Amino acid sequence: MQITDIRETAIPLNSNLRNAVFDFSQMTTSIVAVITDVIRDGKPVVGYAFNSTGRYACGAQMRSRFIPRIIDADPDSLIDEARDNFNPEAILAAMMQGEKPGGHSDRSVGIGTIEVAVWDAIAKIEEKPAYQAIADRYNPGGAKPDMFVYVGGGWYAPGKGIPELLDEMRGYLDMGYTQLKMKVGGAPISEDIERLEAVLNLVGNDGWNLAVDANCGLTPDEARAYAGALAPYKLRWYEEPTDPLDYALMTELAETYEPPLATGENLFSQQDMRNLITFGGMRPNHDVLQIDPPQSYGVVAVARTIEMLHGTGWAVGSSVMPHGGNQMSLHIAAGLGMLLCESYPNTFGMFSGFADDAEIIDGYLKLDPDRPGIGFESQADLYEVMSELSSN
Ligand code: MG
């Protein structure tokens, strides 16, 4: 049993949407194919992944460091003999050879994307969905294949006013979602509050059905001003007010802003998450911790982070969610029993959303127990590009 080749390519997201900090017109992502010599249904098993959204393609690092370290390793050293499958922990360790501690985002996205593609292959070899393969190893009996999903939306876009914002948000409710999130911080605060009140009205004036995301775009004074303005609405959460490493300001906000805060998608390691819960004022099982698995070294590393959180009183089912609305985050959330999962319907072209036939009912999505792997095969446009990468 052997990984015979790992290929990657960069694909543009082709989006003009904007958050508080930047637009996505230049954004790219890396698609990865991990090709094995294991045969299922008469063909070699191939695992796929992409590096989520919001961080650029990172093919140069993969080609120069991470891919050769796996291909050049003794194949037997990468096998889990007991399960007759690849060993994701050994493959992660192989990619980490020669890497200096710290500076995690220098490598965590490239390593994590390859690692998640390995999990797609592992689950296909076991002929089970990825969430089940993940739960079997890290969360036995605790998978949540009936997963609550909310929409990360409410984007800014050229020429988009409140009527267009409401059209966007109404579209999500019509799809079956019940909880929405909208961007703030990309307009003057008075305008953002007008936008917020319009959307709140749409979701039934219940703050629990609406979260906001400032994408780290606010100055400390603006973050305090938004906290003051948002507090009366008792929103589901107030996400990333400011720089992801400004733990002092997060502590200050947590002392004055009573409803939940959320952050973590721009931290990439267990140590960073430990610093956040130790020094960032985060309130266990009240605030929300966000992790983007393909950008944070992948599934094994996220499972280890969750184990660390358990030891400090944080429950994964009430306070941890993945960043990124895609099949990968969905399976990882379901496998590790996270609180909920994000969704980006129609936002980033073929990288948007879940299986083409996914149905959202009262905010819940049932994962198909009979579809092996992460299930990119059920996203026709994306799978066409992925399978092209692994053909010939
Ligand atoms: Mg966010």
Do the domain assignments include residue 8? yes
Q: How far is the CA of 351 from the centre of ligand 1 (A)?
A: 17
pLDDT of residue 39: 98
Assess whether 176 and 83 both reside in one domain.
Answer: no
Provide the number of structural domains found in the chain.
Answer: 2
Asked whether residue 234 falls in the same domain as residue 116, the answer is no
pTM above 0.85, yes or no: yes
For residue 358, being part of any structural domain is answered with yes
User: What pLDDT, on the 0 to 100 scale, is given for residue 167?
Assistant: 97
User: What single-letter amino acid sits at 250?
Assistant: M
Q: How far is the CA of 19 from the centre of ligand 1 (A)?
A: 9
Residue pair 134/299 in contact by the 8 Å Cβ criterion: yes
The verdict on 331 and 353 lying in the same domain is: yes
Which CATH number fits the domain that encloses residue 168? 3.20.20.120
Same domain, 189 and 283: yes
The confidence score (pLDDT) of residue 256 equals: 97
183/325 same-domain check: yes
Dist. CA 296–CA 270, nearest whole Å: 9
Distance 272 CA to ligand 1 centre (A): 17
Q: Which domain CATH number covers 77?
A: 3.30.390.10
Catalytic residue IDs? 183, 323
Is the residue at 29 inside a domain?
yes
pLDDT of residue 184: 97
Residue 162: inside a domain: yes
Q: What's the maximum distance between 2 C-alpha atoms anywhere in the chain?
A: 61
What is the structure's pLDDT at 346?
79
Clarify whether residues 59 and 170 are in a common domain.
no
Query: Rounded to a whole number, what is the distance in angstroms from the first to the last CA of the chain?
Result: 20
**Same domain flag for 96 and 117:** yes
State CA 220 to chain mean position distance: 26
The answer to whether residues 116 and 200 belong to one domain is: no
197 and 279 co-located in one domain:
yes
132 assigned to some structural domain: no
Q: Which two tokens stand for residue 171?
A: 């579209």
Specify whether the CB–CB gap between 305 and 295 falls below 8 A. no
Residue 54 CA to ligand 1 center (angstroms) comes to: 9
Residue 198's domain comprises 138-375
Q: Which residue has the tokens 């939940």?
A: 260
In this structure, the answer to whether residues 99 and 191 fall within a common structural domain is no
- Strand segments (E) across 184-227: 210-213
Chain centroid offset of residue 178 CA: 20
- CA distance linking residue 14 with residue 183, whole number of Å: 19
Parallel, antiparallel or unpaired: strands 238-239 and 364-366: unpaired
At residue 12, the pLDDT reads 87
Quick count: other Cβ atoms within 10 Å of Cβ 39? 10
CA distances from 136 to 84, 129, 139, 141, 373 (A): 14, 11, 6, 7, 14
Q: How far apart are CA 218 and CA 225, in angstroms?
A: 10
Instruction: Please identify every residue whose CB atom is under 5 Å from ligand 1, which is an ion.
Output: 213
pLDDT of amino acid 205:
84
Q: Does a structural domain hold residue 189?
A: yes
Dist. CA 20 → ligand 1 center (Å): 10
Within a domain: 133: no
User: How confident is the prediction along the chain (392 residues), in pLDDT tens digits per residue?
Assistant: 999 999 999 998 877 778 888 888 888 999 999 999 999 999 999 999 999 888 899 999 999 999 999 999 999 999 999 999 999 999 999 999 999 999 999 999 999 999 999 999 999 999 999 999 999 999 999 999 999 999 999 999 999 999 999 999 999 999 999 999 999 999 999 999 999 999 999 999 889 999 999 999 999 999 999 999 999 999 999 999 999 999 999 999 999 999 999 999 999 999 999 999 999 999 999 999 999 999 999 999 999 999 999 999 999 999 999 998 999 999 999 999 999 999 999 778 888 889 999 999 999 999 999 999 999 999 999 999 999 999 97
Assess whether 52 and 31 both reside in one domain.
yes
Same domain, 353 and 207: yes
- Within a domain: residue 219? yes
